Amino acid sequence: MKHVIKKFLGLNTSGESTRNILAYWLPELVSATILISLPPMIDAWIISRLGSTTIYGALGMGTNFLHTLIKIAEAIPVASIAIIGRHNGAEDYKKCGEGLGDTFWTTFILGFTQFVIIFFAASNIYRWLGVPEAMVRFGTPFLQLKSLGVLLIFVTLGLLGFMRAVKNTRIPMLLNLIGIASFIIVDYTLVLGKLGFPQMGLMGSAVATIVQYGVMSGTALAYILLNPDYKKYFSHVFFSIFSITRSLHLLQLSWPIIIDKSTIALSYVWLSKTLAGMGKYSIATYDVVKNLERFAFLPVMASAGVITFLVSNALGAHDYEGAKTNIKKIYYLTCATVIPALLILCFNASYFISHFDPNNKFTLFAASVLPAISLLVFFDFTQVVLAGALRGAGDVRTVMWVRVLVCSLFFLPVSYYLSNLTTISNAVKFILVYGSFYVTTGIMGLIFLYRIKSKKWIKRKI
C-alpha cells in the first residue's frame, strides 16, 4: 500500500526521507509560529484589553507596514542560505563562514537605514494609509520606536539563516522560544502597567520587540562563537570577515528576493489602505482576519523555509531528482496540515474573533467575512512553496518578476476598482477586495509550477 501511494503521488526513493523532512519541518513550524504568528496575535490581544478600537487600529496598521520591512530583513538570509547551503553541501566550510560575515554586516547596514527613514517619516506613513487623525497621534511614536526593534530583527534573521543553511533548525527554534517568552512578559507588563510599571500602551509593545530581538541576537551570537562544531567554518571571528566583492554578490542575489518579498508585503499594505476608507471597524477587522489567517498559514511558512535549504543542498550535491522529490513531499505535507486549520477557522469564526474584541464592536462584521476569505487562502499554497524552491535553486529573478508583474497588472487595478464600488455592502466589498489578493497569488502559483516543469531552474548558478 505504501508503494502504491508513493507512485500515485509521483514520489520515488530519491531526496530526503520523510522522517528527515519532518525533523527539519517541525522545528521550522515552531519557529514560524513563534516568529511570525504569536507576537502579533498576543500583542493584539493585550492591546485589545485597553478597550480602544482606535489604539487597536493604530497597532494593526503600524505592524502591517513594518511587516514589509521584516520581509526585506528575510531576503538577505534567504539568499545567503542558497549560497551557504551549496557550500555546505559541497563541504567547502571556509566559504560558509565567509558567507556569515558578509550576511551579518549587510543585514546590519540595511536595518540601520530603515530605522533612520522610519524615525523621520512615521507620521506621514500613517497619513498616507488614510487612517483617522487619532490613529496618527497614537501610532507615530509607536512606529518610530518599533523600527528600532526591526533593526535587531535584521541582525537576528541573518544569524539564524546561517544555522538553517547548515541544516540546524533546532537551535533557531529554541532561540525563538526564548525570544517570544521575553516578548510576552515585557509586553504584558508594560502595555497594561503590571508589576508596578506604568501603563505604556502602544509604546510598551515597541519596547517588548526591542527586548525580544535583543535577547535572541545576543544568544545566537554566543552560540555561533562558542559552539565547537562551528569552528570548522571560521579561521577567526566572523565579525572581521567582510568582502565588498562577496557582499555585492550577495546583494545581487538578494535584491530580486527583496523586491519579490516586498511586493507581497506591500500588497498587504495596499489592502489596508483600500479598506481603511470603510472606517475604523474595517481597519480592526482587517488586522484580526490577517492575524488569524497567518496562524492557519504557518505550515506553509515552515515548508517554504525548509524547501529552500533542501533544494539548495540537493543541487549543491548534484542530486536533481532529489530536489524535485523534496518539493513534492513538502507540498503534500503542507496541504495535509494547513487545510484542517483553515476549516477550523471557518467554522469557529466568531469564537476566535471575540478574543480580540472584548467590547463586541466589530465581531459580527469580521465573522461575516472571515470564512469566505479563509477558503481563498488555498490559492496561496502553491506559490509560497514553489517560490521557496526556486529561491533555493538561485532562480530568484523568476520569483521577483512574476510577483511584480502579476501584482502590478492584476491585483492593483482590480482591488482599486472593487474598493470604489458603491452598490454593494461593506461586507461584500471587504471580501471582494481581500479575495482579489488570493486570486493574484493563485496566478503566481500556476506560473511557478510551469517554471519548475520546464527544468530550467535547476541549472541556475549562484
**Angle subtended at Cα 436 by Cα 291 and Cα 447, rounded to the nearest 5 degrees:** 100
CB-count exposure of residue 414 (10 Å: 0-12, 13-18, 19+):
middle
Residues of the chain whose pLDDT is less than 70?
A: 1-15, 35, 85-93, 96-97, 99, 235-243, 247, 455-462
Look-up of cell digits 514560524: 32
All cell numbers assigned to 345: 477557522
All cell numbers assigned to 63: 505592524
Name the nearest CA neighbour of 10 among 441, 242, 379, 331: 331
The tens digit of pLDDT for each residue in 327-382 reads 888 888 888 888 888 888 888 888 888 888 888 888 888 888 888 888 888 788 78
* Longest CA span, the chain: 68
CB-count exposure of residue 226 (10 Å: 0-12, 13-18, 19+):
exposed
Look-up of cell digits 520546464: 454
- Give residue 318's region: left, alpha or beta (phi > 0; psi -120 to 50): left
Q: Is the pTM of this model over 0.95?
A: no
Collect all residues with Cβ–Cβ distance below 8 Å to 274 and sequence separation of at least 6. 415, 416, 419, 433
Q: Residue 392: what pLDDT?
A: 80
Number of Cβ within a 10 Å radius of residue 7: 10
| 132 φ, ψ (degrees, to nearest 5) | -60, 155
Which residue type sits at 249?
Answer: H
Q: Residue 5: what pLDDT?
A: 42
Domain ranges of the chain: 2-459
Name the nearest CA neighbour of 374 among 362, 384, 366, 386: 366
SS (H, E, C) the chain: CHHHHHHHHCCCCCCCCHHHHHHHHHHHHHHHHHHHHHHHHHHHHHHHCCCCHHHHHHHHHHHHHHHHHHHHHHHHHHHHHHHHHHHHHCCCHHHHHHHHHHHHHHHHHHHHHHHHHHHHHHHHHHHHCCCCHHHHHHHHHHHHHHHHHHHHHHHHHHHHHHHHHCCCCHHHHHHHHHHHHHHHHHHHHHHHCCCCCCCCCHHHHHHHHHHHHHHHHHHHHHHHHHCHHHHHHCCCCHHHCCCHHHHHHHHHHHHHHHHHHHHHHHHHHHHHHHHHCCCHHHHHHHHHHHHHHHHHCHHHHHHHHHHHHHHHHHHHCCCHHHHHHHHHHHHHHHHHHHHHHHHHHHHCHHHHHHCCCCCCCCHHHHHHHHHHHHHHHHHHHHHHHHHHHHHHCCCHHHHHHHHHHHHHHHHHHHHHHHHCCCCCCHHHHHHHHHHHHHHHHHHHHHHHHHHHHCCHHHHCCC
| 101 φ, ψ (degrees, to nearest 5) | -60, -45
| 356 φ, ψ (degrees, to nearest 5) | -105, 5
Q: Residue 7: what pLDDT?
A: 45
